[in-house]
Structure 1
Amino acid sequence: MDSEHAYWEQWNAAALADQVRLPEDQAQADSFTLADTDTVVVKLTKEETERLLKQAHRAYNTEVNDLLLTALGMMLYTWTGHERSLIHLEGHGRENILPDTDISRTIGWFTSPYPIWLDIGRDQALSERIKQVKESLRDIPNQGMGYGIWRYLSESGQAMAQQADALHLAQHQAFAEPQVSFNYLGQLDQDLQNSDIRMSPYSMGSAVSDRTKMKYALDVSGIVTNGILELDIRYNGKAFRKDTVQMLANLLKSNLLEIIEHCVTRERAELTPSDVLFKGLTMEQLDTIKEQTQTVGELENVYPLTPMQKGMLFHSLMNAETGVYFEQATFDLEGHFAPSTFEESLKLLISRHAILRTNFYSGWHGQPLQIV
């Protein structure tokens, strides 16, 4: 956990130095309750939702959250003019991060809230924004589960909280506190398709008191029911007018539809660093590898060399004429030989086994890599 603590400590320091408050319509005290909030709803059609869930992810190997958060980040950038937005996310806490722990025999969520930066970039193309958001989410260790441990249980987190108390500082002055929260709940009707249980059309009423203090000025939640994506934007009515939030809702929807159209119409899938097995590449470095190896074929993966492979490559480069590690077998075939059938068989074999499509690449800081 030490590396995670260091990650969150550095992240928090950077976020504190760069966080910007949302532009409120009317100034108000930080405290507001559930009774002060109102909600604006964004809905996609069934066709648009299906394109988002089933077609849009092929372009960049994304998940729903990647595209929804890109649309949200673009909305906030248009509204605030600030290309980096601080967002609160919630994980379900059921990730397999402990190899010897079986969580399949438990039920419910172990909610793990954590903050992130959405870095949209001032003049970036839409493709770059999607990839940037995707990679920033993949870079978060253990999908944010360690944030709460660092903040509330670690020595450094507790020391920061105690120091803030001693100086009579608010928590948001010691820890970066997002004003915007986002939570995608998924396809709740998916598990009910082959069940007699149905979602009730009736309201369950208030789950909490109207006097409950709220934490986020904008709280965006998404859910898919009956094949339709619905995004609810709950907002602080003491700080924002409804027409302002409706404008934001329209922006969010138009951004999301633009992203869906962009992804669906992409002719080829595009890899990003989190898609390859070799870790530590930036998007720029991966793009360089793609460009330098495009004559060989379309890039599928990048691997490090094994120690044995490094030794074999070393001897091969030292003496290209050596027969070490080079073995050849010949066979005599009897009967009719069909070259076209043999060629098709060879192509099928190559397509099935990645090792037969692998090349060595030595242009990455002098370190050889396997390129598929």
Structure 2
Amino acid sequence: MPSDGRNRILSTMAADHREALVPALERVELPNWTTLVEPDVDTRYVHFLDDGLASVVASSSSGEQQIEVGHIGFEGITGFHVVLGMARTPTHTFMQVAGSGWRLSTEDLYRAMSANEGLRLHLLRYVQTYQIQLSYSALANGRYTIPQRLARWLLMAHDRLGTDAMPLTHEFLALMLGVRRSGVTNELHVLEGEHIIRASRGRIEIRDRARLERLAGETYGVPEAAYEAVFGRIRPLSARAGAKLRDMRIFLVEDDFHLATQMQRYLASQGAVVVGPAPSVQSALRTLIATPQLDAAIVDVNLRGEMSFPLAEALRKRGVPFIFVSGYQKDLIPAHFADVSFHDKPIEPSELAAALLAVA
């Protein structure tokens, strides 16, 4: 089911909007170089990626000059000109890093948008965030140095691929930046000498994201914040230099008022956004359904005499990492939750922070 996947556009849709699309969605594997949008040809499908990375490339009329103008991963939808009522576009979109996702015909998309204004507005909000990203690409290309632009593009790829070791070639980076391959190689050597990255054949590994962000400066951050305000987090919770609770969206499920208040105050003091507290299984399930983006959850095992395992199942299905806290013995936990971190109540603030950062 698409709701189990990573694609942020699908997962943040209202449930009835998403269910209306499900019968028409087709699961697809997308190898490297798969064309998703053919330039100047009517687009037959849009794609909601779960993983991988698609490049959007603009070319001169002769085809001699090319530059990547954007890329799309789990956070977006390809072929979004269709959302704007346009059948074709001069840009070419293809898979730069292999992945998978969900394919939807443009006819089915048009029908769904015509029948559901809320769905259309949801997709248009993504188009707006993408336009902001394009604007900052133009700013970076026109006003910033190649090292700053390279840092920005590496950060954007890192956000979408979700791994420090990224399968990116020097040729691809040259296309992204619109410079010669030799120029990219020289800049990568500089970053490698500073221990910010490690470069090898067909692979770039991020070693110090915090320093990469400092190098990118004001070229990076504004479009990401605009996206996150609508669809939830895309950037990693922390640079590898030191994880923080700040800005994490933490779901607190606890029926003891005093313990819940203590944990809520501590998490808020660390800059976290606390969702809840929810004191019962049913209230927690309702909150989970109504909250599209959660980074981690704290789950009391016994909620007003009812075991919280149905909630734990729902969290696992959503892909939300969680920890158990309880005043009861750990042997109450079912075997299929044996891998979940268990902590006795009351839990010390330092232990709580470490447990959340370990799973998020």
The question of a shared fold, defined as TM-score above 0.5 by the shorter chain, is answered with no
Higher strand share: 2
Rg (Cα) greater in structure = 1
Report 1 or 2 for greater relative contact order, CA contacts < 8 Å, sequence distance ≥ 6.
Answer: 1
User: TM-score scaled to structure 2, two decimals?
Assistant: 0.22
